[in-house]
Structure 1
Amino acid sequence: MLNTPMLFSLSVLAGIMYTSSSVCTMVTMKRTILRDGKLLLGYQFYRMNQVPNVLQCARNCFFRRRCISFNYNIKQEVCELNNARLDSSDMALSSDPDFVYSEIANWDDAIGSGPCSKRPCRICEACYPSQSRYTCVKEELTSCRDVKICTNATSDGHYFIRPVMGTKPFVKIYCHLMSSKYPKDYVTLHKENYSKVPPINNQSCSIIDWNQGKPGVIYYWKIRLDVMNLRVVTNDRTFTNVSCDPSHFGISDEFSNSGKLCKIDSDYGTGVDCMEADCRPRRGQFHINLQGTGFIVQPSVSWLTYGLKPVFTSLHRSPTNEVITGVCGGNCGICRPRTFLFLELKT
């Protein structure tokens, strides 16, 4: 058995010897099967810790028929199983020097030698070998892709899943594009969520200019979620609508935008304004309200300012981290999450 991380492409080897208590098999590689420094995000359905090498990670993938590819963290010995592979134009591998990515179809079938070699279990079951026998164990649905694969569902709508396998609470997720190969996961928001960019000229604290930047309000009714990592895809605007109604900013009708189409492109959880740095109050604002969704904002998530002369006026969190409101701006100034906007399951 290999006991050290593999930092090389396996195509340079003629084969690898895999041993266990019941089998000793030469695994012959078909081609270059490892993508060093790469991983596929957004399609993990299972994560395992303390997996000693990439070969064992591949074996765990082989024993689950819905596993099509995997990410292996060499440094932390973490194996992530994916129910998708790089076969769509809108999919791309992410970069991380600690990872390798591989597709199970490129491995020799001998990787699964033993009682589970013929993949006898159903599509959403795991095969557990034990000497000359095997046990099939049904696994939980962790994403809309799982719902489609495991139940043959094709209708968009709300489904109960367990986004982090092994945790107690189920959550209701809206599955979008269920008739496609790769549905997308969304959290339906029950309260008002928005980002505001005021139409204030950057040379003044009060002059209204609907041609300055991309002012307006963007309202979010659903937010897309990377369910394995509980990371909000903040630039997804599938379930949003925008408004240039001046009343949203306390502006009178005489400063109406006269039917101008909104071009606001602010991300979820982001505030922007383009007034002079000394202007008060700031008018860029974001409002997150996850009440009733089963999620909260991860307490460790913090916001930073970016842009020209940025000013962060306030950031208010509710005690439960379900509601967060930020006010900021600059010339132009932006406040957004330091890295990513992660959620947690509400307990």
Structure 2
Amino acid sequence: MESAYPQEYLPLYHHNYASIRDFDEVDCSNAGAYTNGNVTDSHNVSDASFEIEHQMKLELPSDSVTVFKKLRINLNSMQVDIFDGRFSDTWGKQFVPYASARSCSTGTCRLGKFLINLEGTGFAVSRETVWRASRSQAFGHVTRIGDSKIVVGSCGGECGGCWPDPHLKLEPADKPHR
């Protein structure tokens, strides 16, 4: 590419989505507690991608979900444009940016969810990428699996959520699986 900011679309070979849950009447008082305003990040060394993909398909939220088929990536910076929905499908009320989630519940049992699955692409989510809560009442948990080729997140609370801040950055993975 000859431009100063070359953009390409990275095809995704597995299920990738981001979701929002709106208000609900479910009593979340017995759900696990999170620290308000924080997003925890853990690294899981087990490769449970099949189980996670299957479970997430069964739990797709009904409010708004965007499923991504390709990601727009700047080849110089390796940053993903999480707002590019050219190769995505949205069900529900609104487009949900990639790698983000939100909910309007007051507890932790009905959170928005996202699934990043970069298996087969030759890329993984960079360790430089961190997720931030969108407001002090929001919370979440992000888990990286398989050397960050898979990242699963649950975020929400008081109409807040989480997103990669300042950017979702990728890096080459050791071996692409095709």
Of residues 195, 198, 210, the one that matches 2:21 is 198
- With the length of structure 2 as denominator, give the TM-score of the two structures: 0.71
Cα deviation per residue 1:85-126 (whole Å; 9 max; x = unaligned)? 9xxxxxxxxxxxxxxxxxxxxxxxxxxxxxxxxxxxxxxxxx
For residue 71 of structure 2, give the secondary structure of its aligned residue in structure 1.
strand
Aligned amino acid, residue 293 of structure 1: T
Structure 1 unmatched runs, 5+: 1-44, 46-65, 67-82, 86-142, 144-183, 207-213, 244-261
Q: Structure 1 residues 334, 280: closer, same or farther in 2, change over 3 A?
A: closer
C-alpha displacement of 1:199: 3.7
Cα deviation per residue 1:278-307 (whole Å; 9 max; x = unaligned)? x23142111100000011100121111113
* Alignment pair present for 1:337 and 2:164: yes
Q: Tell me if the contact between 2:132 and 2:163 (Cα under 8 Å) persists in the aligned partners.
A: yes
C-alpha displacement of 1:84: 5.6
Structure-to-structure mapping, 1:162-241, within 5 angstroms: 184-201=7-24, 204-205=25-26, 215-241=63-89
Of residues 166, 169, 173, the one that matches 1:346 is 173
Cα distance in 1, alignment partners of residues 138 and 22 from structure 2: 17
Structure 2 unmatched runs, 5+: 28-61
Cα deviation per residue 1:251-272 (whole Å; 9 max; x = unaligned)? xxxxxxxxxxx22222100010
Runs of 4+, deviation exceeding 6 Å: none
- Larger relative contact order (Cα-Cα within 8 Å, sequence gap ≥ 6): 2
Q: Tell me if the contact between 1:307 and 1:330 (Cα under 8 Å) persists in the aligned partners.
A: no
Percent identity over paired residues = 27
Q: Tell me if the contact between 1:308 and 1:332 (Cα under 8 Å) persists in the aligned partners.
A: no
* Alignment pair present for 1:265 and 2:86: no
Q: Tell me if the contact between 1:308 and 1:331 (Cα under 8 Å) persists in the aligned partners.
A: no
Cα distance in 2, alignment partners of residues 285 and 226 from structure 1: 25
- With the length of structure 1 as denominator, give the TM-score of the two structures: 0.38
Cα distance in 2, alignment partners of residues 345 and 290 from structure 1: 11
* Alignment pair present for 1:298 and 2:126: yes
Aligned amino acid, residue 340 of structure 1: H
Residue in structure 1 matched with residue 53 of structure 2 by the alignment: none
* Alignment pair present for 1:310 and 2:158: no
Residue in structure 2 matched with residue 325 of structure 1 by the alignment: 152
For residue 68 of structure 2, give the secondary structure of its aligned residue in structure 1.
strand
Cα distance in 2, alignment partners of residues 293 and 232 from structure 1: 14
Cα deviation per residue 1:316-340 (whole Å; 9 max; x = unaligned)? 1013110000101011111111200
C-alpha displacement of 1:308: 5.8
Cα distance in 1, alignment partners of residues 157 and 74 from structure 2: 31
Look at both structures and tell me which one has the larger radius of gyration over its CA atoms. Answer: 1
C-alpha displacement of 1:185: 1.2
Cα distance in 1, alignment partners of residues 142 and 14 from structure 2: 19
- Over the aligned positions, Cα root-mean-square deviation in angstroms equals 2.1
Aligned amino acid, residue 87 of structure 2: F
Residue in structure 2 matched with residue 6 of structure 1 by the alignment: none
Cα deviation per residue 1:30-74 (whole Å; 9 max; x = unaligned)? xxxxxxxxxxxxxxx6xxxxxxxxxxxxxxxxxxxx6xxxxxxxx
Cα distance in 1, alignment partners of residues 167 and 21 from structure 2: 25
Question: Aligned pair count?
Answer: 140
Cα distance in 2, alignment partners of residues 197 and 188 from structure 1: 24
C-alpha displacement of 1:198: 1.9
Aligned amino acid, residue 264 of structure 1: Q
